[in-house]
Structure formats: structure tokens, C-alpha cells
């Protein structure tokens, strides 16, 4: 497996008892019949296409409203938010391409709100607000606003906006407490509540939130920007109803999902039937250097896919757990990479996909397990694991591993020059994996994000930070016939005293995999240099942290410097098969050093017009071909497998799983399906609702249903 690739083999999937406690999402829904021409709400293909595009345009306009009205740079500059339309059955209808990490899970949050309140309690003018990872969310900074859309008394859809707020309270300024042991340390946890009830604002909700965050002025502006975006959606949706009629709009929301389902099933049917396995790792949880396994068994059968995470490590002590909604979203994200833009992204795409994530594992934890890094870090590793399993089945469609992190770096303090508290949240792009037909993308946001860089001018104009450098990271792309994309190096100097630093990152120990003989990509790094010092140090050396990538509350001051180094993606194919002319171009562009051109690619550079000596290059490549590396990557993976955390939940987690089973057993003849009336008849709810949520539902609503 030198340099590259496939961990695992084909074989039967075996499910343990835990898997039965977390049933997967519903399978295929029967397509809704279209109405015949002449009937009220009749659809023709042109109308369906026009309305389908209009739904996407509404979501895009929601996003542009955010850009024009929000306060925080994380929205205005970074675009860390998402907008969607969801139908009255909690099906995702349309999205806008802002932050992909949110999109698939937003419909699950709507589903939770509908189950929590009941349809009868959802009224025109309501606006719901929620951020709880255990209520269909991702991590606490992602606050979701949900506005129901009505025509008269008929509930038709929901406008949804999910956005990452720069602070959510908790023990870390600007979030990302890399050593949190509980979600209570991560910040304010908000269950589904009505911020607006029948059009009347409940100001106490806003006061409760802003009293528990560090930058309330920005928070108020950002929440109002989210609310404004849903009002825009309400107006535009009403305009569609006025033009096309309520029946036509409702029918089209169903039809676009059915169409995506048909296209997705056709794509899956084009894959060979079989079972493929792959193992990925989270390197540590911030408390020790023990890795956590993400085990995938991916089964293709006809036009359906089952993605089984049974065998993954038990939930972690630190903040790398992935909530159930985030795990679903990440799995769908990976499988959507099989298709092109002709397949509209909505819930129809997900119907042929079954996901199994046992309760109590890293990918479906029970509270109060911390989840802050689940959206930004574990989600990317889920994607890499699913793609690694799929690679043998679709080698012409998928690529090697990416740099695989948001490399979140946050902190803050008091800015004396501007006489105000400040907080910063930096995330940097890196290299993507190569494919069978091209090099990986350079300096591109990871697969869960679609962020913009913060402009240098904005950083220096708004915070006590000085930008020192922003450049490519040469030799970070995994060598191969097609090279992995390269990352970047960004350095900063602090201009204020008593600054707190927090971080949550990954891929600083285990690099992204290559494929078909391609070598792994380069590692990420977070480095620090004290004022007056000459050497960069990683965080374990500079501060004595248990982890080089996960930390909280480090103290720094004026003149200290930090550097964010992102690695590259894995390569595809043997490096000695790369066209020498392309290696010469890589050196000219700064992607590959002259030394690596010779030692890895076997290209002898010259001053000739071609840039290399063909005869000397051929001779060097023959020598290198007989002296391949001893497989350091395979040794690293083997060691990680031996040291990885086990899959058996701890005592507290087992007690919670038993409590859930006991509550479910008290219900008479449950009929798990896709009910939006009771969680006990909803397969997805029974996969992740905890015992407290189920008891509360019974005490508030269940006794009267």
C-alpha cells in the first residue's frame, strides 16, 4: 500500500446490537404523482424548471441579504452561513451555495422543531431559533433561524438560515475550546424556542442570548440579519404563489425532490454492487495522543447505498464528536461528489442513502459530549472516509484525501487602541486531493466550506493583528502522476497584551491519503514564536499542550507571533509517472521545490528551453524506481489502528442508551417511519433523540396525543 491508499477490503457487513438502537433515515419514498394538465396546480416540465430555479434564487437572495446587513466579518467577509427552503414535510427543497457543512442537516432541525412543537403550534409570523447539536444542529455557534411560510392557514414551507456566530459564550473567546470535556463548557445551548410568536418579538429570548455572549452588539446585528433574510424569503415565496398558484408551487416543491431522487438513483445504479471498507482517524481529542477510528462499510446494492459506521470509536472525551445531524450531512456531502450540477441538491438526493451510526459512538454521541469540532474537523474526516471507501468503485470520479481541516484558530482580549473587546476567528484553506484526470486544487476551502479569505486590510484595520505573510506552501501537495494541491502559510503578529488563544485542528500527525500509488499530502501545522525568539515551535513545545492542534486559553502578548501552515492533498498515481514538463512548470509556479523535483519526481532540471534533461531524467527515474520508500504511511496507519480508542461506550453512555430503550419500550406498538407528529414513530428521531428530550416530549405533548 506504498504511498497511497486503500485501507480495507470487501466483505460482508455485520451489525451489532448498538446499530439497532439507531435506525437509519427513511429509505425510498414513492414518487408523488404529477397532476394531469388542466387540473389545479398542474405541472409541465418548463414550469417545474422555472420554479425550481426560483426556489434556488430565493435562497441566494437570503444569502445576499445576510452579506448586506450582518455585522460580523465571519458573515460579511467569511460567508460562514447557509440558506435553504424546506417543505412542510421537512424535506430540503433548495439551497444556496454558501457553507455546505450546514445544508443537509438544516432540514433535520426543521423536523425536530415540528416534532417538538407540533404542527398546530406553528403559526404565521413565528420565527424559531435553535443551536443545540442534540436537536438536529451541528455545533453551538451555528444558530438556526426558521420561519414558517403560509398561504392563508396552510403551512407550505420554511425559510431557514443557519449561521456561525463569532462567539457563543463558554470557556473560549470566539469559540473552539480545544480541551472542552462537556458541551456545557462549549457555550450557550439553545433548544427550539420562538423568538417571534405570531409576529410579536419576544425580546426576552434575545436578552437571554446576548447576556451570555462576549460581543452582544455584533450578535444582535447578526441575528437580525438572519431574521431579515427569512423575511425576504417570505416575500419572494408569496410572490411565486401569487403568480403560479399555491397548488402549483406545492407540487413543484415535491417534484424537484422526486427528480433529484431519480437522477441520484441512476448515478448509484451505475456503480458496481459490492461492499467496500475504509478506516480514517481523528488524531486526538485534545487530552491525549490517542487517535479515534472512523470505520466505514459502504454497500452498493442496485440504486441504493448503505453507509455503516459500526466499529467506529466510542464518543470522545474532547470536542471532536460529530452530532447525528452533522454525520448525516457529511455523509451526504461525500456522496454528492459523485454527481454533477445537473442534480439539484435537495432531500431527494438523500432518499437512496441509508446511514447507520450507533448511539454512543464518535459519530452519534449522547449528551453532554462536546461537539465543537464535529462540524469543522470530524465532518471532513467522515467525507474522506466515505470517499476512500468509494474510490475502488468509482476511480474515475473521486480524488485522494484533502488537507482535511478548518485549522480553526480563535482568541481575543481587550483592544486598548479601539477601546473595546475584540475576538478573532481565523480559518485557512489548503490543498485538495488529486484525481485520475487532474492535479488537486491549490489553496481551496475544505469540502465542508465555501469560505472567503479575510482581506489583509480588513484584519489590520479591525483588530490588533499585523499580517506578516501569506504565501504558498511548496512541496505540501502529495506527489503523484497527478499532484495533490498545495496549501498556504500565513503569519501574524499580536499588537496587544494579554491575548487568549484557542484552537481546533487536525491532520498534524496523520496526512491525507494518496490513491493508486500517489503519496500522502503534507501535514498542517500551528506554530508560535515568542517576542524576540528566533525559532518557530509547535504548540506542544511552546506551551506544553497535550495536542499540537487542540488547545484552549493559551496566553500570548504584544510582539508574539503565530503561523498557520496548511498542508496539501494526496497524490494520484506514482510520482515517477508524472510528465517531466509538468514538474518543471510546478517548480516555476512555486508548487514544488527543485530538490523535490529531483528526489521525488526524478526530474533533472536544466537551463534548457524545456527546463529538464531527458536522458538524465530517465536515468534518475530508473534509479529511484528501484529504491522506493519503506512505507512510512502504512506504518503510521498500522500504529494508529493499534492505539485507537475502542468502540465500547463508557458506563455513563451505556446507561443513557438503556434509558432511551426503556422509554421507547413503554410506547404501545411503535411504528417507526417518518412521522412528524411523534418522535416514537420517526426513525430518525429514534436514532438521536436523547432520554431527556423524549421524556420532555411525553410530559408536554405526549400525554395529550
CB 219 within 8 A of CB 125: no
| pLDDT on residue 42 | 57
Torsion angle, alpha carbons of 599, 600, 603, 605, to 10: -50
Residue 4 confidence (pLDDT) above 70? no
What integer is the mean pLDDT of 241-250? 96
What integer is the mean pLDDT of 10-36? 36
| pLDDT on residue 518 | 95
Question: If you average pLDDT over every residue of the chain, what do you get?
Answer: 90
Cα separations in angstroms, 360 against 365, 562, 640: 5, 37, 21
Which one, of 366, 292, 370, 380, lies nearest residue 334 by Cα? Answer: 380
H or E element that contains 129: strand 127-130
Structure confidence by residue, pLDDT tens digits, 85-126: 999 999 999 998 777 667 777 899 999 999 999 999 999 999
According to DSSP, the residues that pair with 673 across neighbouring strands are: 682
CB within 8 A of 679, min separation 6: which ones? Answer: 115, 685, 686, 689, 693, 694, 697
Structure confidence by residue, pLDDT tens digits, 440-452: 999 999 888 877 7
Residue 40 CA to residue 671 CA, distance in Å, equals 34
b/e code 39-60 from CB counts within 10 Å (16+ = b):
eeeebeeebbeebbebbbebbe
Q: Residue ranges of the domains in the chain?
A: 32-265, 272-607, 652-704
Residue 578 CA to residue 584 CA, distance in Å, equals 11
List the beta strands (DSSP E) in 242-368: 274-282, 292-301, 304-308, 353-356
What integer is the mean pLDDT of 258-281? 96
Residue 593 CA to residue 589 CA, distance in Å, equals 10
| pLDDT on residue 322 | 97
| pLDDT on residue 670 | 65
| pLDDT on residue 341 | 82
Local structure of residue 153 (DSSP, 8 states) = T
Residue 632 confidence (pLDDT) above 60? yes
For the entire predicted model, the pTM comes to: 0.92
Of the two residues 57 and 36, the one the predictor is more confident about is: 57
Of the two residues 632 and 267, the one the predictor is more confident about is: 267
Strands laid side by side in the 193-197 sheet = 92-95, 81-87, 154-164, 142-151, 127-130, 193-197, 200-201
Which stretch of 1-10, 68-77, 226-235, 475-484 has the lowest confidence by average pLDDT?
1-10
Residue 8 confidence (pLDDT) above 90? no
Structure confidence by residue, pLDDT tens digits, 447-503: 888 777 888 998 999 999 999 999 999 999 999 999 999 999 999 999 999 999 999
| pLDDT on residue 225 | 96
pLDDT-above-90 percentage for the chain: 82
| pLDDT on residue 396 | 87
What integer is the mean pLDDT of 504-513? 96
CB within 8 A of 471, min separation 6: which ones? Answer: 488, 489
SS3 704: helix
Report the Cα 342 to chain-centroid distance in Å.
Answer: 22
What integer is the mean pLDDT of 507-531? 96
| pLDDT on residue 492 | 97
Residue 16 confidence (pLDDT) above 70? no
| pLDDT on residue 668 | 67
| pLDDT on residue 559 | 97
CB 366 within 8 A of CB 282: no
If pLDDT is split at 50, 70 and 90, which confidence band does 23 have?
very low
Residue 704 confidence (pLDDT) above 60? no
Amino acid at each position: 500500500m506504498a504511498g497511497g491508499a486503500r485501507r480495507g477490503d470487501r466483505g460482508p457487513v455485520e451489525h451489532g446490537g448498538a446499530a439497532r438502537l439507531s435506525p437509519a433515515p427513511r429509505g425510498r419514498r414513492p414518487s408523488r404523482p404529477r397532476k394531469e394538465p388542466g387540473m389545479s396546480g398542474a405541472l409541465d416540465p418548463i414550469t417545474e424548471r422555472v420554479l425550481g430555479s426560483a426556489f434556488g434564487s430565493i435562497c441566494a437572495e437570503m444569502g445576499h441579504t445576510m452579506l448586506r446587513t450582518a455585522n460580523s466579518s465571519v458573515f460579511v467577509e467569511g460567508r460562514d452561513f447557509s440558506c435553504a427552503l424546506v417543505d412542510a414535510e421537512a424535506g430540503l427543497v433548495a439551497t444556496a451555495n454558501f457553507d455546505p457543512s450546514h445544508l443537509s442537516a438544516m432540514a433535520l432541525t426543521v423536523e425536530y422543531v415540528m416534532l417538538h412543537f407540533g404542527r398546530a403550534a406553528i403559526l404565521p409570523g413565528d420565527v424559531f431559533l435553535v443551536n443545540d447539536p442534540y436537536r438536529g444542529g451541528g455545533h453551538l455557534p451555528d444558530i438556526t433561524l426558521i420561519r414558517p411560510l403560509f398561504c392563508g392557514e396552510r403551512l407550505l414551507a420554511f425559510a431557514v438560515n443557519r449561521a456561525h456566530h463569532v462567539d457563543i459564550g463558554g470557556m473560549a473567546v470566539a469559540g473552539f475550546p480545544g480541551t472542552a470535556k462537556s458541551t456545557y463548557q462549549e457555550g450557550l445551548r439553545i433548544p427550539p424556542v420562538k423568538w417571534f410568536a405570531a409576529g410579536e418579538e419576544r425580546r426576552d429570548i434575545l436578552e437571554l442570548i446576548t447576556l451570555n455572549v462576549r460581543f452582544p452588539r455584533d450578535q444582535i446585528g447578526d441575528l437580525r440579519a438572519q431574521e431579515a433574510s427569512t423575511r425576504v424569503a417570505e416575500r419572494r415565496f408569496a410572490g411565486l404563489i401569487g403568480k403560479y398558484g399555491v397548488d402549483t408551487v406545492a407540487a413543484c416543491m415535491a417534484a424537484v425532490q422526486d427528480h433529484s431522487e431519480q437522477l441520484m438513483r441512476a448515478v448509484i445504479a451505475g456503480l458496481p454492487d459490492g461492499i467496500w471498507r475504509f478506516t480514517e482517524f481523528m488524531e486526538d481529542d485534545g487530552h491525549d495522543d490517542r487517535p479515534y477510528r472512523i470505520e466505514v462499510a459502504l454497500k452498493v446494492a442496485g440504486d441504493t447505498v448503505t453507509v455503516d459506521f459500526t466499529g467506529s470509536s466510542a464518543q470522545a472525551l474532547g470536542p471532536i464528536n460529530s452530532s447525528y445531524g452533522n454525520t448525516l450531512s457529511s455523509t451526504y456531502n461525500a456522496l454528492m461528489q459523485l454527481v454533477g450540477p445537473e442534480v439539484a441538491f435537495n432531500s431527494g438526493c438523500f432518499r437512496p442513502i441509508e446511514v447507520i451510526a450507533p448511539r454512543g459512538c464518535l459519530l452519534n454521541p449522547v449528551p453532554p459530549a462536546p461537539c465543537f469540532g464535529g462540524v469543522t474537523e470530524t465532518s471532513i474526516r467522515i467525507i474522506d472516509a466515505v470517499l476512500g471507501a468509494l474510490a475502488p468503485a468509482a476511480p474515475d470520479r473521486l480524488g485522494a484525501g484533502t488537507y482535511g481541516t478548518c485549522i480553526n484558530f480563535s482568541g481575543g482580549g481587550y483592544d486598548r487602541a479601539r477601546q473595546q473587546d475584540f475576538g478573532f476567528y481565523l480559518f485557512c484553506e489548503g490543498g485538495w486531493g488529486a484525481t485520475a484526470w487532474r492535479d488537486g486544487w491549490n489553496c481551496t476551502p475544505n469540502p465542508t466550506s465555501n469560505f472567503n479569505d479575510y482581506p489583509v486590510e480588513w484584519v489590520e484595520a479591525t483588530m490588533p493583528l499585523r499580517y506578516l505573510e501569506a504565501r504558498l506552501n511548496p512541496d505540501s501537495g502529495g506527489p503523484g502522476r497527478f499532484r495533490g494541491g498545495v496549501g498556504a502559510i500565513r503569519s501574524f503578529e499580536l499588537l496587544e497584551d494579554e491575548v487568549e488563544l484557542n484552537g481546533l485542528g487536525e491532520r498534524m500527525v496523520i496526512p491525507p491519503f494518496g490513491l493508486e500509488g500517489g503519496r500522502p499530502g503534507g501535514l498542517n501545522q500551528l506554530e508560535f514564536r515568542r517576542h524576540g525568539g528566533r525559532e518557530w515551535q509547535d504548540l506542544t513545545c511552546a506551551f506544553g499542550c497535550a495536542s499540537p492542534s487542540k488547545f484552549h486559553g493559551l496566553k500570548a502578548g504584544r510582539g508574539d507571533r503565530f503561523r498557520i501552515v496548511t498542508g496539501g492533498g494526496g497524490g494520484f498515481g506514482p510520482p515517477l509517472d508524472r510528465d517531466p514538463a509538468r514538474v518543471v512548470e510546478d517548480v516555476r509556479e512555486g508548487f514544488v521545490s527543485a530538490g523535490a523535483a529531483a528526489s521525488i519526481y526524478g526530474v533533472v532540471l536544466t537551463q534548457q528551453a524545456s527546463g529538464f534533461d531527458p536522458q538524465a531524467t530517465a536515468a534518475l527515474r530508473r534509479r529511484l524506481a528501484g529504491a522506493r520508500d519503506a512505507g512510512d504511511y502504512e506504518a503510521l496507519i498500522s500504529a494508529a489502528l493499534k492505539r485507537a480508542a475502542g468502540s465500547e461506550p463508557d458506563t455513563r453512555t451505556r446507561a443513557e442508551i438503556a434509558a432511551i430503550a426503556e422509554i421507547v419500550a413503554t410506547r404501545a406498538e411503535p411504528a417507526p417511519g417518518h412521522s412528524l407528529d411523534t418522535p416514537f414513530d420517526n426513525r430518525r428521531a429514534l436514532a438521536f433523540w436523547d432520554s431527556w428530550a423524549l421524556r420532555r416530549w411525553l410530559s408536554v405533548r405526549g400525554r395529550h396525543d
